[in-house]
Amino acid sequence: MSELDSNLMSALREAADDPVGYAQTWKARHDRRVVGSFPMNFPAELVHAAGALPVVIQDSGTPITEGRNLLAEFYCGYTRSVADQVALGRLDVFDAFVAADHCVQLLGAVDVIRWARPDKPLHFAQFTSAMDDAWTKPRVAGRIDELENELEAVCGAVTAEEVATSIRLFNRNRRLLRELYDLRRSGRARITASEMQTLVKSSMVMDIEEHTAALVCLLDGLDVAAETPADLVRLHLSGHFCHAPRPEILDVIEESGVLVADDDLYTGFRYISTDVPESGDPLDALAQWYLDRNRNAPCPTRVTIGVDWDTYLLDSLDKSHADGVVVLMAKFCEPHMLYYPELRKALDARGIPSLLLETEHEGNPVETLRTWVETFVERIRRRRVLTLA
Ligand code: SF4
């Protein structure tokens, strides 16, 4: 049962469910620009510093129609949905688009925007993916400079102080969200997986100060003394890049007598894992953030020597005391498919039960998923009994 203020949560859910509607209302109210960005590495602080609303473009729940002719069926649902939304004019509220790459399929979606909306400013910053080379940080800093210049062309001049202010605002928001993660992990507050998704997803699309004010109220009203029922199986949700898994999947998981204790989902802890340094040159700080993020929540699209997702995942399980892992994988997500065998090997070697659920844009067989999850949870329960015997 939820402990979060229901009125505040429904306001956040409304923005998370309809980011374009939120952007239209915000634009009309503030008479300022809105800029759409693509996951997973774009620093929203830059757009905010330019006086515009940064919005991470989300997957749409509607079936893909026009987009079918623009990207092949073997592109992931997110990129096909973006192509569809652009072709149907549903992203026309955005005054510009920005991306910091990580994936070939995303490039396809960016090309569709260039083709469908040739007049719309679109800046694609190629961030280096090998993180340890001596030239990586200066190159990333160079890309961030270019991004700033492009944004200035759309929104007007940006000062270093404005970037520093935006960094502080976004750090505060991330810290509050991580506080909620800590409370959930420790079992001192009950926050469901779909509520956590709403909290993070709304932070990706809303005015950051408005969102932070809502988080402060939610935290103030939260009953942190609540006890977590001991019989619930604790799970970690892993993966699902670029867009949020459908809430019905999260509900099916939790309806199986499960407590989601932690996650490394993109629309989850991955998005808020890392703060931007608040001292020094703010643009350099954004480049440092990019490097730091891959240490805090490693991504298979990036390479940092001595850092890998499987070790990070095992460490996270130690902290959250999760009994098992549900890997949520968007169908045709190549980086995830390529890395998954490593994850599975590491979990198996530790004897940690895991379940892979592949999600589809076109709809998920909820009752089949329910059977799989219930069987998985039962397996964990029996293991517990055997361990105690
Ligand atoms: S990382 Fe995966 S989900 Fe994201 S654009 Fe690439 S294929 Fe799609």
Can you give the pLDDT at residue 231? 76
| Residue 205 tokens, joined | 């699309």
The reply to whether ligand 1 has any atom less than 6 angstroms from the CB of 242 is yes
Can you give the pLDDT at residue 1? 45
Q: Measured in whole angstroms, how far is the alpha carbon of residue 375 from the centre of its chain? A: 28
Q: Is the pLDDT of residue 317 over 60?
A: yes
For ligand 1, atom 6, name the residue with the nearest CA.
103
User: Band of the pLDDT at 227, cuts 50, 70, 90?
Assistant: low
Q: Is the pLDDT of residue 102 over 80?
A: no
Domain chopping of the chain, boundaries = 19-158
Can you give the pLDDT at residue 232? 86
The reply to whether ligand 1 has any atom less than 6 angstroms from the CB of 76 is yes
List Cα–Cα distances, 40 to 30, 154, 323, in angstroms.
Answer: 27, 22, 28
**Average per-residue pLDDT in the chain?**
94
For ligand 1, atom 2, name the residue with the nearest CA.
333
The reply to whether ligand 1 has any atom less than 6 angstroms from the CB of 106 is yes
Mean pLDDT confidence for 97-104:
86
Query: Of 17-31, 73-87, 215-229, 295-309, which range is least confident?
Result: 215-229
pLDDT for 356-382, tens place per residue? Answer: 999 999 888 899 999 999 999 999 999
Mean pLDDT confidence for 33-58:
96
The reply to whether ligand 1 has any atom less than 6 angstroms from the CB of 109 is no
First and final CA of the chain: distance in angstroms? 31
Is the pTM above the cut of 0.75?
Answer: yes
Residue to probe by mutation, ligand 1, list 37, 40, 76, most atoms within 8 Å of CB: 76
Residue to probe by mutation, ligand 1, list 73, 79, 238, most atoms within 8 Å of CB: 79
| Ligand 1 centroid – CA 166 distance (Å) | 28
Phi first, then psi: what are they for 230, rounded to 5°?
Answer: -70, -20
More confident residue, 389 or 145: 145
List Cα–Cα distances, 115 to 39, 63, 73, 111, 282, in angstroms.
Answer: 20, 21, 19, 6, 34
Can you give the pLDDT at residue 209? 98
The reply to whether ligand 1 has any atom less than 6 angstroms from the CB of 334 is yes
Mean pLDDT confidence for 304-313:
93
Q: Which atom of ligand 1 is nearest to the CA of 103?
A: 6
Residue to probe by mutation, ligand 1, list 82, 105, 238, 338, most atoms within 8 Å of CB: 105
Query: Of 104-113, 192-201, 214-223, 227-236, which range is least confident?
Result: 227-236
Are 4 and 67 in contact, with CB atoms under 8 Å apart?
A: no
336-353 b/e (C-beta count within 10 Å ≥ 16 → b): beebbeebeebbeeeebb
Are 202 and 26 in contact, with CB atoms under 8 Å apart?
A: no
Q: Is the pLDDT of residue 83 over 80?
A: yes
Can you give the pLDDT at residue 85? 97
For ligand 1, atom 7, name the residue with the nearest CA.
333
Can you give the pLDDT at residue 228? 66
19-158 in CATH: which number? Answer: 3.40.50.11890
